[in-house]
Amino acid sequence: MAEKKIVKAKKKKEIDVRDFTTCEATAQMLEKARRDGVETAFDRAANMKACPIGAESACCKHCFMGPCRLNAKDPYAKVGVCGATIDTFQARNFARNVAAGGAAHTDHGMGMVDLFREVVNGHITDYEIKDVHKLEQVAQSIGIETEGRSVKEIATDLYKELENTYTQVEGEIPFAKRVPPATLEVWRKQDIVPRGAMREIMELMHRSHMGVDQDYANITKQCSRTALADGWGGSMVATEISDILYGTPSPVAVDVNMGVLKEDQVNIIVHGHEPNMFESMLASVNTPSLIEAAKEAGAQGINLVGMCCSGAEMLSRHGVPHAGNFMSTEAVLVTGAVDTMCVDVQCIKQGLQKVAECYNTPLITTNTRCRIEGATHVQFEDHKPRECTDEVVIKAITRFKNRTADIEIPNIRNTGIHGFSYEYINYMLGGTFRGSYKPLNDNIINGRIRGVAGVVGCTNPRMKQDYVHVELVKELIKNDVLVLQTGCSQVALAKNGLYSPEAAHLAGPGLQEVCETVGMPPCLGLGSCVDNSRILIAASEMVRVGGLGNSIADLPAVGCAPEYMSEKAICIGQYFVASGVFTVFGVTFPTVEGTKFHKHLFEELEQEGMGKWGFATDPYEMAKMMIAHIDKKRKALGIDKARERVLMDMDDRRGIDAA
């Protein structure tokens, strides 16, 4: 039985838990939660109708003459008290989403540069440079000399240069040098090449203040510039420094789903986004004295498990098992088997605390940026990381010793291959000596692979958990579209078996042939939501290798966040669009269809040489839109006929096989 402060679910509506989620383990725990009288975000979403005016961004509360609201059904009938139109309302709200989302990633990335600087200068010794090859590659990519120089000299130049990603007042950020020239030319023409993220976010907040920028197209430009400062700046730096310090991911077989919890072990879950605390926790749980303490408490050992995006990062980099994505973080506590949930930043629901209390599980916050009323705080410091993580392990052992909650662990585990990186894809396709994206481009040109889709992002209680992710990806691979994934979407597919090489049989004949030849699954997981930057690098390399046009906008490539919920997703979507990618979102989109701002995002940006936004909630409709866009790009490149030939060859081959 759940204990202490049982939270009674408000029983306005009792919906079948299988209407909330397609994740069997989560459904099993939601049923237990109901028996235990515990409420989760699924119940709260069912009992709270989303505000229809806010959902369409038809309200403005950026000053105190309002809040003003317009009628989304007749959006030009009224204006706000200051005279602001529906287009200004929407653009301002969108701008604030981009600013907040970009701030989250760039604050994370800036923290990584701070850590890197301290490691290079010898002030922090718990971490070290693990991937010297990656250090040299990143340095070379922005023009830092590496030949005949020491690791310290290269690393010193690199951190000094990368600090500009955040603080640069004028000029282009360092990683603008990695952008394909034709794409960069579009940005220069549009005046959206980012300066440092601090400057861009500050300017976007300024422009969206009452009485400043009141031209939706001009606000959108600053949205693009700020979002690009995230994708090609803050996020990309976070990924690259993490690889340099902790190692670049390469394929590893890992178990996901709640069955990774072990009843006879001390279970510690780390949930959040930044790798530093998780890396230190990995060291703590492998410390002989702490393992001994766990055994003395009656446990067989200590079981470290990830969730959400820091989980996705550690799954990719070190093969740490993963218990589930964003919408399973409350449900996993209902198992009663979690001895501590330790969190850092982003996507940490406040509701976790009440659920944790019900099962006597300590919820431990570790970052000054993210404290939760009622949770225990153990401050994590990069300079003495083990003080925090050892203490968390001790708290978990204590909870194990005093376990009183009923334990029920869903017996579901899915094994898959994770840990693909831009670098590994290079190697996988071309081998050590001729590593290249050329085989990928060739297979796209000859039509075996129709195109590439990035399917990423959150889960959202307004959608049936994982359903749209899974159906969409199945539909894409069935149509020979190679899928790259990050974050909670990657975990959704992993839970459904799509990360095993055997999943290749779900792919269309062309993609299946490539997967079987190379021995890869039809979808490749690249890590956390910050690691979406790996997709940008992969796209740039496809352009550089040749045969698929001059800019990212020319590629037969698309993006999608089918169940998104966070402002970070809006920022990610905008940097993909500004980079040249058609990007489809699901759930809801914060615009009123038919307005000038909506048309600007969904049509006009493409005419300016960028990508564009798309929206659908049905996975098959999404797939149709994305495949149609891929085919449009194939036609423009003159490679549409090649695909028809390949498919004919495959049919012929099947005919021969059958004979």
Applying CB under 6 A, which residues contact ligand MSK?
Answer: 273, 308-309, 325-326, 347, 457-458, 487-488, 528-529, 566, 568
Do you find a cis peptide bond into 75, omega within 30 degrees of 0?
no
Q: How far is the CB of 430 from ligand MSK (least distance, A)?
A: 30
Residue among 193 and 348 whose Cβ is closer to ligand MSK: 348
Q: Which residue has the tokens 């090449």?
A: 193
Q: How far is the CB of 124 from ligand MSK (least distance, A)?
A: 26
Q: What are the DSSP calls for 634-658, one per residue?
A: HHHHT-HHHHHHHHHHHHHHHHHHH
Task: Please say which residue, 326 or 582, places its beta carbon nearer to ligand MSK.
Answer: 326
* CB atoms inside a 10 Å sphere around CB 206: 12
Both ends of the chain: CA-CA distance in Å?
63
Give 414 or 479: the residue with its C-beta nearer to ligand MSK. Answer: 414
Q: How far is the CB of 70 from ligand MSK (least distance, A)?
A: 29
Residue listed under structure tokens 């550690």: 314
Nearest-approach distance from CB 525 to ligand MSK, in angstroms: 12
Residue 231 CB, nearest approach to ligand MSK (Å): 14
**Structure token digits, residue 625:** 């839109």
Residue 384's CB is within 10 A of a number of other CB atoms, namely 12
Burial classification of residue 608, based on how many CB atoms lie within 10 Å of its CB (0-12 exposed, 13-18 middle, 19 or more buried): middle
- Within 10 angstroms of residue 346's Cβ, the number of other Cβ atoms is 25
**Which DSSP string do the residues of 459-477 spell out, in sequence order?**
--TTS-BTHHHHHHHHHHH
Q: Tell me the two tokens of residue 644.
A: 């028809």
Residue whose pair of structure tokens reads 């490149």 in the numeric block: 637
Cα dihedral 604, 606, 611, 616, rounded to 10, equals 60
Query: What is the Cα–Cα distance from 455 to 558, expressed in whole angstroms?
Result: 9
Nearest distance, CB of residue 326 and ligand MSK, angstroms? 4
- The tokens describing 340, both together, are 């501590």
Cβ nearer to ligand MSK, comparing 174 with 487: 487
Shortest distance, CB of residue 308 to ligand MSK, whole angstroms?
4
Q: Residue 291 or residue 314: which is nearer to ligand MSK going by CB? A: 314
Residue ranges of the alpha helices (H) in 431-466?
438-445
356 exposed, middle or buried (CB, 10 Å; 0-12, 13-18, 19+)?
A: buried
Q: Which is nearer to ligand MSK, 106 or 441 (CB)?
A: 106
Closer by beta carbon to ligand MSK, 235 or else 267:
235
Which residue lies nearer to ligand MSK by CB, 395 or 469?
A: 469
Query: Considering the complex, what minimum distance in angstroms separates the CB of residue 457 from ligand MSK?
Result: 5
User: Shortest approach of ligand MSK to residue 485 CB, angstroms?
Assistant: 10
CB of 49 to ligand MSK, least distance (A): 22
Quote the least distance from Cβ 431 to ligand MSK, whole Å: 33
DSSP 3-state assignment of 561?
A: strand
Token digits for 156?
């010193």
Residue placing its CB nearer to ligand MSK in the complex, 158 or 529: 529
Nearest residue (CB) to ligand MSK, 399 versus 568:
568
Nearer to ligand MSK, 59 or 327 (CB): 327
The beta strand positions in 202-249, using DSSP E, are none
Q: How far is the CB of 563 from ligand MSK (least distance, A)?
A: 9
**Strand arrangement, sheet containing 376-377:** 302-307, 266-272, 340-343, 363-365, 376-377
- Count Cα neighbours of 409 within 13 Å in the Cβ-side half-sphere: 17
Alpha-carbon distance of 347 to 327, in angstroms, equals 10
Least Cβ distance, residue 580 to ligand MSK (angstroms): 22
CB of 587 to ligand MSK, least distance (A): 12
Work out how close the CB of 7 gets to ligand MSK at its nearest, in angstroms, rounded to a whole number.
Answer: 23
Per DSSP bridges, beta strands 59-60 and 68-69 are antiparallel
d(CA 179, CA 38) in angstroms, rounded, equals 49
53: Cβ–Cβ under 8 A, 6 or more apart, which residues?
59, 69, 70, 72
Q: Residue 639 in contact with residue 546, Cβ under 8 Å?
A: no
Nearest-angstrom CA–CA distance, 521 and 514: 10
CB nearer ligand MSK, residue 99 or residue 155? 99
Of the pair 2, 314, the CB lying nearest ligand MSK is at: 314
Distance separating alpha carbons of residues 25 and 329, to the nearest angstrom: 12
Is residue 265 within 8 A of residue 299, CB to CB? The reply is yes
Q: Hey, is 167 helix, strand or coil? A: helix
Run of H or E residues at 626: helix 619-637
Comparing CB distances to ligand MSK, the nearer of 25 and 449 is 25
Q: Which of 317, 395 has the CB closer to ligand MSK? A: 317
